[in-house]
Amino acid sequence: MQFRELKVPHALEITPVQRGDDRGVFMEWYRHDLLAEQVGHPLTLRQANTSVSRRGVVRGIHYADIPIGQAKYVTALRGAVLDFVVDIRVGSPTFGQWDSVLLDDTDRRAIYLAEGLGHAFVALTDDATVSYLVSDVYRPEREHGINPLDPDVGLVFPDAAGDLILSPKDTDAPGLLEASDRGLLPTWDAANDFYRSLNYGSGA
């Protein structure tokens, strides 16, 4: 299992080792001990989600209030998505920046993002099936969104996505700067205080 730090602090790309033979393929797509070595603490799992999306569907940008937020470990079980992590922590040295990882059923990579980061993806195939391991249960009163088409974020959707399909919830979400002005975003300091409580280190 290989880990690569993304340009957004506290986000990782994970590439599993696949072992194939004439029967098929076996791999470890999640290892709590190896992830803990990377982030400095075990990932507490409280919920697992699966979404199935047609080509062009955009889900996100979503995030949860901290504490306790919702860390995510995400992979594609079928098809392909381009997965985005967005730094929405006000005061972060990479505030407003994003990185992306191709998740598909060929390389079978995963992405990890810490609490307080924004998450989105666009489906590049029909029936793109995505699995999420998350550190807290869904709490609708603490869940928020940023419009994924916000030009201040500037997500780049590949041509392979075709025509984009978004939910009214996501298109009605505020832009990044509006959400910041309204006090809806986590702060870098609050995020790091929470990370220290989990023994991550500050990442500064």
Amino acid at 18: Q
Location of structure tokens 């940008």: 61
- Best CA proximity match to 8, nearest among 96, 128, 127, 138: 96
62 is catalytic: yes
Task: Name the catalytic one among 30, 32, 63, 132.
Answer: 132
Check: CB of residue 143 under 8 Å from CB of residue 184.
no
- Best CA proximity match to 143, nearest among 196, 112, 179, 178: 179
119 is catalytic: no
Task: Name the catalytic one among 10, 30, 62, 119.
Answer: 62
For 10: left if phi > 0, alpha if psi spans -120 to 50, otherwise beta; the answer is: left
**DSSP secondary structure code for residue 136 in this structure:** S
Q: Which two structure tokens, joined as six digits, stand for 24?
A: 């098929």
Check: CB of residue 58 under 8 Å from CB of residue 130.
no
Catalytic residue set: 62, 132
